[in-house]
Chain A
Amino acid sequence: MKDVPFKDVYLHALVRDEKGEKMSKSTGNIIDPLVMIDKYGTDAFRFTLAAYTAQGRDVRMSPERIEGYKFFVNKIWNAAKLVLSNLEDYDEKKAFKAKDSLPEKWIKAKLNAAAEGVSLNLEEYRFNEAAAAIYRFVWHEFCDWYLELIKPALYGKTDEQQRCAAQRTMLDVFKIVLKLLHPFMPFVTEELWQVLKGKNEGSVMVSEFPKYEKEAKTTKAEKEMQLIMDIITCVRNIRGEMRIPPSRKLSVMVSVPDGNSRKIIESGKNYIINMANAEELSVDVNLKEPKGVATGVVNSAKVFVPLAGIVDISAEKMRLQKELAKAEKDLQQCSKKLANRDFREKASSAVIKKEEEKLNELKERYTALEGALSKLKEIQM
């Protein structure tokens, strides 16, 4: 032929069991793919293979791992059910004009990153990373956050505009998710696509693969949404660590360094109230820490949750001491790394800068925790 037979040759490793042993009859650790397909479905099976195919490493398989991705298939299915059940009165024309709220802007930015992650990694045959990019997006960003954030809008607790935007975005994003997932999970994506597709659309397998904006900059909306989400997480963490039942409504106070942060948090007030199960939320610039509160730190903001009548203060003291010890350890590690000459010489300036930023954040966190602990001590005294 006088020409090479192929441009790229991708060499994959062998499939072994989860301990890394070769599969053989004598060891009795052979996994029969057809049995796995019967039991967990082809989509879960295929996704597991992709998720564990890292370059230069053995592919370690076990039925439990495949079962784990069967849960992922269920998650996708349930998300589709939620999407579908909220589209009954969907009016495309009306939705077209509706303005995006923060969660819409945020999820679109995350979707762009996921599309980039899947595409770039598949182009380079990094199957595990491509699978991880879409998995993370679907499970954590779309299901855990976005669908939860828009529930009040979907259930008509906000204005019509927000509801339309949420419907439209939820549908559009989910359809793109199906496309991104299709190469890995061809069957379930086709099944759902056929239900959700538009009038002129055919099969997902011949639809156009999602395009993305390369190396998109983090938008203002993303940062704002992130701050609101961090505060929700912070309250949830306090609730978790202090063992406050999820049903118990809390009042939340946030202290911010400036008026801008205050505006952001106030605009996201309802999200925080809904997702952190708060009964009230107040935000103030440089709020003086009240007595008898649990304290959380989010960047330069502080979150206070009054504990009177809810939690035992001495346990809270222990918690802060534990956190402080961890922060101290992180701080030491970070400064040690930055002091290392080898690291300074080999790492790129961007990496070093990131590390320095991390150090500053840790210092802030440490000081804040230290303050909180001493405050708590004061309360007790």
Chain B
Amino acid sequence: MSKETLKKAFEPQEAEKRIYDYWLKKNFFHAADESDKEPFSIVIPPPNVTGMLHMGHALNNTLQDIIIRFKRMQGFNALWMPGMDHAGIATQNVVEQELAKEGLTRHDLGREQFIARVWEWKEKYGGVIINQLKRLGCSCDWQRERFTMDEGLSQAVREVFVKLYEDGLIYQGDYIVNWCPRCHTAISDLEVEFVQEASCLWHIGYPMAEGKGEIIVATTRPETILGDTAVAVNPNDKRYKDKIGKFVYLPLLDKKIPIIADEYVSMDFGSGALKITPGCDPNDFVIGRKHNLEIITIMDGRGAINEKGGVYKGQDRYMARKNILADLEKRKYLIKTEPYTHNVGKCYRCKTDIEPMVSKQWFVKIQPLAKQAVKAVVEGKTKLVPKTWEATYFEWMNNIRDWCISRQLWWGHRIPVWYCDGCSEVIVSKTDPAKCPKCGGKSLKQDEDVLDTWFSSALWPFSTLGWPKKTKALKNFYPTSLLITGFDILFFWVARMMMMGL
């Protein structure tokens, strides 16, 4: 036995770095592509490249490291695949803030230069969190470290996009999306945070176009009056039986709009009549489609009233609300104002009020994919622990809406769709096309939008292992053995990986 003696107490500060370097030097964290040992694999939930280690990361990665060390010691060929997420909005915001200090906006730089600047930022500051994970003792296979924007993963993104498009599972359409007027992009339903706010419910009288009387509607957003294209009542509501099919005047605008009937309208709320603004509200959008109503977009991307708003044109949405209320009052259309607390949707990144807006966006048709993902859990191919989460998972998957995957950002995977200037052909391709396959024209424009960050992270379990190439790592380690993640991203991420994997 050695005669070594121990110090009075363990000194973590000194020992941890030395020991970690020893492990690295011995290459203990590396799992071979091929091995006689049984494989065991975990992919890391990729932290944002902008991330700084917080308690959530610490917990998540400690648990992963416990399991991977346990399995490694049990004799498995244990792989813990590390990497980072490019984090579209978050990263773009950080770099924009940096630019702002120099008095610049991204538009001053232009797209290409701005992206170069983001990469520069990434090389310099990105990945602080990787070193923080090392301090936590994480035994990731660092030789395999990936980034959602690296070449291989970008190729995987294009591959999947094209495949889904060809299978008819990606489409472009007019849709009402959650628009953040500050970030200047559409964000997904999941990225909207609802906050209870005290506001008012304003009751406004819409005069009948013919004869006497009026219909009173109640709204929390009087400025949207500018986009009203109907008033809806319940077909069983006796109060309005003789008014269905007739018209009312839209206050402040010299315009007649119809009174329509729809079961959706609740007879108990307010007067039982609902103003319908298909361009400003997701529920109204659905009713508008059903009744073939005109869809009017009344704001621009910054949330200011556009030319459809008459005299209110150019006013910011809150300013317009104030002025419209004043005018309604002046002209005696405002019947009643009552205090009212309701949920307001906010951008989860910058807390700006979300503006539902209709625009052209790319979508993934999700139902067929969701069905598969539900089946896999029902059949026990994937097990959720604790099992109680399964019910929540099914509930969500069965009520899922199409996934809006386009974002009006610059930092991210640009949508692999090109438009031919010559013949307007739409080209969806894995590689950048040199000319139009239809007319041979060489003037092609790529779609301006990028993909939702979660699109690339949804491919993480197989893209990091080398897919679409048929690598040995992929063959050996996929399906991965275990995912450890917080329940808060079950839908953002886990559910989407399930859908993309299948």
Instruction: Report the Cα distance A114→B63, complex, angstroms.
Output: 20
> Within 8 Å CB of A190, what residues of B?
19, 22-23
- A8 near B385 (CB under 8 angstroms)? yes
Asked if A347 CB lies within 8 Å of chain B CBs, one says no
> What are the residues of chain B within 8 A of A192 when measuring CB–CB?
6
Name B20's closest neighbour in chain A (CB-CB): A187
Once the chains bind, are A127 and B385 in contact (CB under 8 Å)?
no
The answer for the CA separation of A179 and B69 in the assembled complex, in Å, is: 10
Counting CB contacts under 8 A, is A73 at the interface?
Answer: yes
A34 at the interface (CB under 8 A from B): yes
Task: For B73, give its contact among A6, A182, A195 (CB under 8 Å).
Answer: A182
Contacts of B313 in A (CB 8 A): none
Would you call B35 an interface residue if the criterion is a C-beta within 8 Å of the partner chain's C-beta atoms? no
Contact B376 A4 (CB under 8 A): yes
* A157 interface residue per 8 A CB criterion: no
B63 touches A49 (CB 8 A): yes
Segment among B102-110, B189-197, B327-335, B476-484 that sits at the interface with chain A: B476-484
A209 at the interface (CB under 8 A from B): yes
Asked whether B59 lies within 8 Å of A53 as measured between CB atoms, the reply is yes
Interfacial residues of chain A within 75-120, with CB under 8 A of chain B in the complex: 77, 80-81, 84-85, 87-88, 90
Point out the residues of chain B lying under 8 angstroms from A38, CB to CB: 13
Q: Which of B101-127 contact A (CB under 8 A)?
A: none
Interface size on B, residues (CB 8 A): 72
Which residues of chain A are within 8 angstroms of B70 by Cβ–Cβ distance? Answer: 122, 183, 209
Chain B residues whose CB sits within 8 angstroms of the CB of A247 once the complex forms: none
- Give per-residue flags for B65-84: 1 if the beta carbon is below 8 A from chain A beta carbons, else 0: 11101101111000000000
Say which one of A9-17, A258-266, A334-342 lies at the interface with B: A9-17
Nearest CB on A from B72, distance (A): 7
CA gap between A61 and B58 in the complex, in Å: 12
A350 interface residue (CB < 8 Å to B): no
Cβ-based interface call for A245 (8 A): no
Interface residues on A, range: 35 or more
How far, in whole Å, are A6 and B497 apart by their CA atoms in the complex?
9
What is the chain A residue whose CB lies nearest that of B383?
A8
Query: Is B245 on the interface with A (CB-CB < 8 A)?
Result: no
**In the complex, chain B residues 38-64 whose Cβ is within 8 Å of any chain A Cβ:** 53-60, 62-63
| Contact status A205-B479, CB under 8 Å | no
Contact B59 A12 (CB under 8 A): yes
State A122–B482 Cα separation when bound (angstroms): 13
Given A49-B62, A203-B26, A13 and B487 touching (CB < 8 A)? yes
- Residues of chain B contacted by A191 (CB below 8 angstroms): 10, 15, 19
Q: Contact at A5–B479, with CB atoms within 8 Å?
A: yes
Judge if B238 is at the interface, Cβ distance under 8 Å.
Answer: no
CB-CB < 8 A to B19: which residues of A? 186-187, 190-191
> Do the beta carbons of A7 and B386 come within 8 Å of each other?
no
Min CB–CB distance A202 → chain B (angstroms)? 8
> Considering the chains assembled together, what is the distance between the CA atoms of A45 and B501 in angstroms?
35
| Structural contact, A206 and B4, CB atoms closer than 8 A | no
The A3-48 residues at the B interface (CB cut-off 8 A) are: 3-15, 23, 30-34, 37-38, 40-43, 45-46
Of chain B, the residue at the smallest CB distance from A84 is B6
- With a CB–CB cut-off of 8 A, which chain B residues contact A124? 385
Nearest residue (CB) in B for A90 is B1
- Evaluate whether A206 and B482 lie within 8 angstroms (CB atoms) in the complex, with A11-B384, A183-B66 already known: no
Q: Which residues of A contact B (CB under 8 A)?
A: 1-15, 23, 30-34, 37-38, 40-43, 45-46, 49-50, 53, 55-56, 59, 61, 73-74, 77, 80-81, 84-85, 87-88, 90, 122, 124-125, 127, 179, 182-184, 186-188, 190-192, 195, 202-203, 205-209
Question: Which 4 interchain pairs have the tightest Cβ spacing?
Answer: A41-B12, A5-B501, A209-B73, A5-B461
A-B contact pairs, 28 of them (CB 8 A): A1-B502, A5-B500, A6-B382, A7-B383, A7-B481, A8-B383, A8-B481, A8-B482, A9-B382, A9-B385, A9-B485, A11-B486, A11-B494, A14-B486, A14-B487, A23-B55, A34-B135, A38-B13, A42-B12, A46-B62, A53-B59, A55-B386, A73-B10, A187-B20, A188-B12, A205-B139, A207-B73, A209-B74
Further pairs besides A12-B486, A183-B69: 4, Cβ < 8 Å: A33-B58, A33-B136, A55-B385, A208-B73
